[in-house]
A and B are shown apart, each in its own frame.
Chain A
Amino acid sequence: MKRKKGWLPVFLLPAVALFLLIYAVPLVIVFVSSLFDYRLTGDSMTFIGLQNYTQLFSDATFRQACGHTVVWILIHCIIHVSIGVILALVLYKKPRGWKFVRTAYMIPNIISNAAMGMIFLNIFNPQYGVVNSILKAVGLENLTHNWLMDTTTAFPSVTMTWLLFAGYTTTLVLAEALTIDDSVLEAARVDGATSFQTDMFVVLPLLRKIIGTTMVMAATYMLQMFDLIYITTKGGPGSATMNLPLMLYSVYKNENNYGYSNAIGVCIVIAGVVCMTLINKAMRVNEEDY
């Protein structure tokens, strides 16, 4: 067995080489170039130390984008994951048609974000969109809005484009729940626990690790969220729906300021590491139960 393991590094080499080339090297370039005044139209790169970062923290748009990103991460980790977990707990009891629901609930997750963005762009259209049409039909015309372009409704409207579709969370949590040994549940029943008590105090704690994992996935998904916002509002009106990836793209594309946009990229990477660490700690993902 020992001799066979000796070959492992050789087979790992392609993956490691690819990782270094595709992720590690660009990551280092991003870190290093964020310390330079590096623009498309500039003649050369000039070392400016942490100037891009000091400028970032005094940039009102950046502060707004950070705030939105944090709020979206919290909403996604708490509400979105909760929706997925609750549905998984319901399906776990295998009610009639549970397989159909499990499959049907995944459908929005397999539609590309670009297509979902277009769908919601039309749903929220102020002139012919479904939302305003329904409001008009039930006599609530005074509640109609330009949902995606009104600063009071843009943020929640964009949030709704992904909030309810927790198919991945449901699938992962359900798969984990189905592996729970029946004897554990049987013991709870023998001790007189109700169905709700079993869910709350037996099943849910046993799902802690997978819920932690889905929270990490939810947080990183929000740190990467770009396409749905780009298609629906492009971060507007004003900066009402601006987040960090969109700001990075905007600085890169419109201002051609690569150094500054890479500084935003570094902030996203750091935010990702912080999120993962905090969630792993809070959910004790790396700790054994018994």
Chain B
Amino acid sequence: MKTKRILSLLMAGALLTGALTGCGSKKDDSAQSGDSSGVITINYPTAQCGTNTSAPVCDELIKEFNEKYAGKYEIKKEDVPGDQNYIDKIKVQLGTGDLPPVIYGGGYNLLDMVVAKDLAVDLTDAVNSDADWKALYSDTALATNSRDGKIYASSMEGQVIGYFYNKDLFKQAGITEPAKTWDEFFQQCDKLKAAGITPLSMDTADSAWVTQLWMGAMVGTESDAGLEFMNTMNPTDYNTPEMIAAAEKIQKMYQNYTTQDAIGGKYENAANNFLSGQTAMLANGPWMIGDFSDTSMAEEGFADKVGVALFPGNFVYDAPIQGYIVTKQDDPKVEEAAIEMVKFFTSAEAQQTAMEMQGMVPASNTVELTDTAKDKYPLLAEFLDLATTEGEKRSDTLQATMYSNLLDVMSQQLPLLASGELDAKGFCQTLTDAAAKNQ
């Protein structure tokens, strides 16, 4: 009996111990230093993995970094597939104050949140003390990556965005060249429609990337105030004449010139419609150029049919994408390692590698287009040349400058704008109300 009792007690204890083992807290091991070999390990969670277009570049840079700093530093990549999963992961870690040593601000505007929590390492001294690194910061790159006069991030990639058009479909509709003004643009849409061709690829889901590009270009070309609005970080008032006028045009585009699946559709739907020749125009960045010659996405020879243009009014999105952020760590050695990693990832050589491997636009205007990149991505070369020679009005995208909570609001409200249940003023008021929640 006594043995039974002891056995029962042991079993109950084992159950409790086993159950609670998994509940124990453990300090995040995103950064380690001082292991037996003396190598400082930087665990690097990133969404640049799997099918992400930047994944090969990320892998290559990690490989080169680990070779260069062998025995001193080592990056261990942690795959976090999907941008949203990455943002959610970083936000959770931000809440606990335990961030990985390096995070990527990307198009997610994570910098403001990290700075607000006082968890970003001030890179000002590190950048200023390195002439090569400092030379890579243009004025716009400095603005994108700085807060209150301090540099907190470093960009590797820029974005130069216009729109792609299908030359065959334009020819069928009797259009000889892309529109120079918005009036001409809508006349071309009418011509395409009359020829039985759907003019535009659009979307509403997942922050409506494609549609927002059209909308931002309209705002930026409406007036000087519109361009100033487009270059304002985190605007709070969307009830501007330029935004209202742009929303009216977007409503017209949804109702007359796009596919049935645009309402509720994602970027992928919009892209597929263009790649399959169902629509004549798609606003997007040059990272898509590789898809035109990918036969799993488009028919053979589709790349030859695609032309690239600036938005009407010679508008082009031209801004560095928010870059890599070093976060505060308990161990200063880990911070040093992280700064080295960011410097390496954003160096002129790294930007060149990204350009040649994936056609990514360099963040720095001191990094020139190489012959390899020109041969591999002639459309990219053509567009960059066009942007340099003819681009008159430039700004960041609407998405990059708006408060992050507005991205979902856009997706929710655009279908109402499209159906006419919400007018342009009501739409802009909804954005203003959502922006006010950040005050």
Stretch at the interface among A8-16, A70-78, A269-277: A8-16
Mask, A40-56, CB within 8 Å of B = 1, is: 11000000000000000
Which B1-38 residues have a C-beta within 8 angstroms of A? 5, 8-9, 11-12, 15-16, 19-20, 23
Given A14-B12, A14-B15, A238-B421, also A126-B408 (CB < 8 A): no
What CA separation (Å) do A10 and B11 show in the bound complex?
A: 10
**A127/B12 in contact, CB under 8 A:** no
Q: Is the interface of A mostly helix, strand, loop or mixed?
A: loop
- Asked if A235 is at the interface (CB within 8 A of a chain B CB), the reply is yes
What CA separation (Å) do A18 and B17 show in the bound complex?
A: 11
Q: What residues of chain A lie closer than 8 Å to B113, measured between beta carbons?
A: 40-41, 256
**A13/B437 in contact, CB under 8 A:** no
What CA separation (Å) do A127 and B419 show in the bound complex?
A: 17
**B260/A127 in contact, CB under 8 A:** yes
Residue of A whose beta carbon sits closest to that of B92: A40
Minimum C-beta distance from B140 to chain A (A): 25
Given A14-B12, A149-B264, also A21-B23 (CB < 8 A): yes
- Asked if A186 is at the interface (CB within 8 A of a chain B CB), the reply is no
**B264/A146 in contact, CB under 8 A:** yes
B9, B204, B411, B437: the one contacting A255 at CB < 8 Å is B437
- Asked if A280 is at the interface (CB within 8 A of a chain B CB), the reply is no
Q: What residues of chain A lie closer than 8 Å to B422, measured between beta carbons?
A: 238
What CA separation (Å) do A146 and B40 show in the bound complex?
A: 54
Q: What residues of chain A lie closer than 8 Å to B261, measured between beta carbons?
A: 125-128, 146
Q: What residues of chain B lie closer than 8 Å to A17, measured between beta carbons?
A: 16, 19-20
- Asked if B43 is at the interface (CB within 8 A of a chain A CB), the reply is no
What CA separation (Å) do A235 and B416 show in the bound complex?
A: 13
**B19/A234 in contact, CB under 8 A:** no
- Asked if A253 is at the interface (CB within 8 A of a chain B CB), the reply is yes
What CA separation (Å) do A176 and B397 show in the bound complex?
A: 61
B19, B112, B117: the one contacting A18 at CB < 8 Å is B19
Minimum C-beta distance from A30 to chain B (A): 15
A127, A237, A254: the one contacting B404 at CB < 8 Å is A254
**A13/B116 in contact, CB under 8 A:** no
Q: What residues of chain B lie closer than 8 Å to A238, measured between beta carbons?
A: 412-413, 415-416, 421-422
**A14/B16 in contact, CB under 8 A:** yes
What CA separation (Å) do A126 and B265 show in the bound complex?
A: 10
What CA separation (Å) do A239 and B16 show in the bound complex?
A: 45
What CA separation (Å) do A14 and B263 show in the bound complex?
A: 51
Residue of A whose beta carbon sits closest to that of B17: A14
- Asked if B424 is at the interface (CB within 8 A of a chain A CB), the reply is no
Residue of B whose beta carbon sits closest to that of A151: B421
Q: What residues of chain B lie closer than 8 Å to A21, measured between beta carbons?
A: 20, 23
Q: What residues of chain B lie closer than 8 Å to A149, measured between beta carbons?
A: 204, 263-264, 415
What CA separation (Å) do A46 and B264 show in the bound complex?
A: 39
Interface size on A, residues (CB 8 A): 34
Q: What residues of chain A lie closer than 8 Å to B413, measured between beta carbons?
A: 237-238
- Asked if B95 is at the interface (CB within 8 A of a chain A CB), the reply is yes
**A237/B91 in contact, CB under 8 A:** no
Q: What residues of chain B lie closer than 8 Å to A126, measured between beta carbons?
A: 260-261, 263-264
Which B395-439 residues have a C-beta within 8 angstroms of A? 404-405, 407-409, 411-413, 415-416, 419, 421-422, 437-438
Interface size on B, residues (CB 8 A): 40
Q: Is the interface of B mostly helix, strand, loop or mixed?
A: helix
Given A126-B260, A146-B260, A238-B413, also A41-B407 (CB < 8 A): no
Minimum C-beta distance from A4 to chain B (A): 10
What CA separation (Å) do A289 and B202 show in the bound complex?
A: 61
Minimum C-beta distance from A58 to chain B (A): 13
**A14/B19 in contact, CB under 8 A:** yes
**A7/B412 in contact, CB under 8 A:** no
**A237/B415 in contact, CB under 8 A:** yes
What CA separation (Å) do A250 and B88 show in the bound complex?
A: 12
A148, A235, A255, A257: the one contacting B264 at CB < 8 Å is A148
What CA separation (Å) do A125 and B262 show in the bound complex?
A: 10
Q: What residues of chain B lie closer than 8 Å to A253, measured between beta carbons?
A: 88, 91, 408
Q: What residues of chain B lie closer than 8 Å to A22, measured between beta carbons?
A: 23
Residue of B19, B117, B412 most packed against chain A (CB within 10 A): B412
- Asked if B205 is at the interface (CB within 8 A of a chain A CB), the reply is yes
- Asked if B384 is at the interface (CB within 8 A of a chain A CB), the reply is no
Mask, A127-154, CB within 8 Å of B = 1, is: 1100000000000000000101111000
Minimum C-beta distance from B199 to chain A (A): 16
**A239/B19 in contact, CB under 8 A:** no
What CA separation (Å) do A254 and B105 show in the bound complex?
A: 16
- Asked if B173 is at the interface (CB within 8 A of a chain A CB), the reply is no
Residue of B19, B20, B259, B409 most packed against chain A (CB within 10 A): B19
**B412/A239 in contact, CB under 8 A:** yes
**B412/A234 in contact, CB under 8 A:** yes
What CA separation (Å) do A236 and B266 show in the bound complex?
A: 14
Minimum C-beta distance from B273 to chain A (A): 9
Q: What residues of chain A lie closer than 8 Å to B20, measured between beta carbons?
A: 17-18, 21
**B416/A151 in contact, CB under 8 A:** yes
Q: What residues of chain A lie closer than 8 Å to B23, measured between beta carbons?
A: 21-22
**B421/A127 in contact, CB under 8 A:** no
**B407/A236 in contact, CB under 8 A:** no
Residue of B8, B11, B117, B405 most packed against chain A (CB within 10 A): B405
Sort A-B residue pairs by CB-CB distance and give the 5 closest, nearest first.
A237-B415, A149-B264, A254-B405, A41-B116, A127-B261
23 contacts between A and B (CB under 8 A): A7-B5, A10-B12, A11-B12, A14-B15, A18-B20, A21-B23, A40-B91, A41-B116, A125-B261, A146-B261, A146-B264, A149-B263, A236-B264, A236-B412, A237-B263, A237-B264, A237-B413, A238-B412, A238-B421, A238-B422, A253-B88, A254-B409, A255-B437
Which A residues form the contact surface with B (CB < 8 A)? 7, 10-11, 13-14, 17-18, 21-22, 40-41, 125-128, 146, 148-151, 233-239, 250, 253-258
Other contacts beyond A151-B415, A238-B415, A239-B412: 14, CB < 8 A: A10-B8, A17-B16, A21-B23, A22-B23, A40-B117, A126-B261, A127-B260, A150-B419, A236-B412, A236-B415, A237-B416, A238-B421, A254-B409, A256-B113
